[in-house]
Amino acid sequence: MDFLLHPWPWYVAGPLIAFVLFLMFYFGKNFGVSTTLETFCTLSGANKLSDYFKIDLKKEKWRLFFAAGILLGGIIAANFLTPNQAVDLNAETVQEMANLGFADGGKTFLPKEIFSIDALLSFKGFLILIGSGFLIGFGSRYAGGCTSGHSITGLSSLQMPSLIATVGFFIGGLIMTWFLIPLIF
């Protein structure tokens, strides 16, 4: 059980991801979370408003199990597999996080300044949630997929648009880390 409580090394996690991708390619499926959102939108009746959401739910029902697995896996990992586990960060990063107002200096996986009910119910937290949700939704739709779809499936099948999107994701992450987070916090 101890091996579950620590991050897996790349030489274990990487081949497991490759194996899952191989299985998905073999069965004619594409890996990506944003496409699963389209399935949920169809279930909620969006297909009555837009032809874009008219999909065959019988062929796409596997995505619902995929999304349930992500949710269940996250709950299990957060509650049972990372008990009070501190993040191993560089001392300068910890100090910079503390300077930005993160009380624990970024030493936990889910800082309470972002991931708590109090943060969510504050005006600033609500604006961050709405703004980031809009940007993620718009960005994944505009890019034709999300980070997991492009960076895992698209790159492994050597698609140039996925390479361009992945480079854009990294540039956006750097801009967020170095410029926007210091402005927000």
pLDDT tens profile 58-96: 888 888 888 899 899 888 887 777 656 666 778 888 888
Domain shared by 18 and 75, yes or no: yes
Domains contained in the chain, number:
2
Give pLDDT, residue 84. 60
Give pLDDT, residue 9. 83
How many Å apart are CA 22 and CA 31, to the nearest integer? 11
How many Å apart are CA 52 and CA 121, to the nearest integer? 34
**In this structure, are residues 149 and 31 in contact, taking their beta carbons and an 8 Å threshold?**
yes
Give pLDDT, residue 13. 85
Q: Kindly report whether the global pTM for this prediction surpasses the value 0.75.
A: no
Give pLDDT, residue 175. 93
Domain shared by 56 and 132, yes or no: no
How many Å apart are CA 53 and CA 43, to the nearest integer? 9
Spatial CA neighbour of 59 closest among 30, 88, 16: 30
Inside any domain, residue 142? yes
Inside any domain, residue 88? no
Domain range holding 165? 116-185
Domain shared by 79 and 11, yes or no: yes
Domain shared by 145 and 69, yes or no: no
How many Å apart are CA 95 and CA 161, to the nearest integer? 38
**Residues 128-159: tens digit of each pLDDT:** 888 888 888 788 877 888 888 888 888 888 89
Give pLDDT, residue 69. 92
Share of the chain above pLDDT 70, in %: 94
What confidence category does residue 42 fall into, taking pLDDT thresholds of 50, 70 and 90? confident
Spatial CA neighbour of 151 closest among 142, 136, 140: 140
Inside any domain, residue 105? no
Domain shared by 5 and 79, yes or no: yes
How many Å apart are CA 70 and CA 63, to the nearest integer? 10
Inside any domain, residue 99? no
**In this structure, are residues 35 and 149 in contact, taking their beta carbons and an 8 Å threshold?**
yes
The first and second tokens of residue 128, run together, are 């961050």
Inside any domain, residue 91? no
Inside any domain, residue 50? yes
Give pLDDT, residue 170. 92
Domain shared by 26 and 79, yes or no: yes
End position of a domain, from candidates 60, 83, 106: 83
